[in-house]
Amino acid sequence: MISDPWFYLAAIFGVLIAGISKAGFGGASGGLSVGLMALVVAPPQAAAIMLPILLVMDAIGLAVFRGKFDGRNLRIMLPAAVVGIVIGALTFGWIDPRWIRGIIGVEAILFALDRFRVAHLPRQPLPPSLLRGGFWGTVSGFTSFISHAGGPPIMQYLLPQQMDRVLLVGTTVVYFSVVNFTKLVPYAWLGLLDLGNLKTSALLLPVVPLGYWIGLKLLHGLNPRAFAASLNWLLLLVGIKLLWDSIAGG
C-alpha cells in the first residue's frame, strides 16, 4: 500500500475533483484525478486505484439520478464503449498512453474553443446519431480504459444535442457506471487490482461524499448558460492538461 504523503495530498484533491465532476458536470474532468496521482505513482497504478473509487461514485449517482437518462443515446454509446474497452485491453502495453492523451487533449481544446466561439449564436440541437455516437463511444471507452479520460470524447457527442443538464449528467452517470464496471474484468486480467491498490482506494473513499455533494450543489445552482460555460471551461482545462502530459511525457 502507498505510504507517500505527497501521493495522498494529490489523491485527495483528485478524488474531490472526480466527485464534483461526476455529480455536477457528467464526468467531464474526472480524468484529472489520474493525472494528479500520476505525479507521484505510475499512471497504470493511478488508474487502478481510481477505478474502485469511481465505482462507488457511480453507485451514488445511480441512486441520485434514478430514471433520469436518455435511453436512445445509451443504446448507441454503450456497445461502442465496450468495443473501445476491448481495444484498450488488447493493446495495453503496446500503445504509448502519452500519444492517446495528446490526441484527446487537442480534440477537447478545439471542441471547447469552438463552443466558446458560437456560444451566443443560435444553433439547432443535433439529434442522436449512430455514426457519431458509435465513433465517440468507442474513443471514450478506449481512453477511459487507458486513463479514465472518457469524459471529453463523450461530451463531444452529447453537448451538441443541447440536452437538459440533469438529463445530460444522468445519462453520463449510467454510461460511466456500465463502462467502469466493465473495466473490472480486463483490469483484473492485467493484474492491476492487487490488494495494495485496493487498500489505497479504500483509504480515499471518505473523500467521495464531499466531492459528490459539492458537484450536486453546482449542478442545481448554475443556470443553463453558466452550466454550459462551466462545461466548456472544464473541457478546455482537461484538454490542456492531457496535451501537457503528452508533451512532457507524464
Give the pLDDT score at 37.
Answer: 81
Q: Which three cell numbers stand for residue 113?
A: 474553443
Residue type, 50: M
CA-CA distances (angstroms) from residue 243 to 35, 90, 154, 189, 247?
A: 11, 24, 18, 29, 6
Q: In which element (H, E) is residue 245 found?
A: helix 224-248
* Gap between the Cα atoms of 17 and 31, Å rounded: 9
Give the pLDDT score at 97.
Answer: 66
**3-state SS of the chain: helix, strand, coil percent to 5?**
80, 0, 20
Compute the half-sphere exposure of residue 121: CA atoms within 13 Å on the CB side of its CA.
7
The domain limits of the chain are: 5-248
Give the pLDDT score at 195.
Answer: 86
118 SS3 class = coil
Q: Which of 200, 203, 153, 201 is nearest to 179 (CA)?
A: 153
- Mention every residue, 6+ apart, whose C-beta is less than 8 A from residue 205: 53, 56
**Any idea how long the chain is?**
250
Give the pLDDT score at 122.
Answer: 65
The CA-CA-CA angle for residues 92, 96, 100, to 5°, reads 95
* Gap between the Cα atoms of 102 and 105, Å rounded: 5
Q: How many CB atoms lie within 10 A of CB 18?
A: 29
C-alpha of 137 from chain center: 12
Give the pLDDT score at 250.
Answer: 52
- Mention every residue, 6+ apart, whose C-beta is less than 8 A from residue 225: none
Q: Give pTM, 2 decimals.
A: 0.83
Give the pLDDT score at 151.
Answer: 85
Give the pLDDT score at 31.
Answer: 66
* Gap between the Cα atoms of 82 and 157, Å rounded: 16
* Gap between the Cα atoms of 104 and 108, Å rounded: 6
Full DSSP string of 119-157? TTS--PPPPP-HHHHHHHHHHHHHHHHHHS--HHHHHHH
Give the pLDDT score at 77.
Answer: 97
Query: Per-residue confidence of the chain (250 residues) as pLDDT tens digits?
Result: 677 888 898 889 889 888 888 887 777 666 677 777 877 787 778 888 989 999 999 999 999 999 999 999 999 999 999 999 999 899 877 877 677 677 767 877 887 787 787 666 667 889 999 999 999 999 999 988 887 878 888 988 998 998 998 999 999 999 999 999 999 999 888 888 888 888 999 999 999 999 899 989 888 888 877 877 887 787 788 778 778 877 876 5
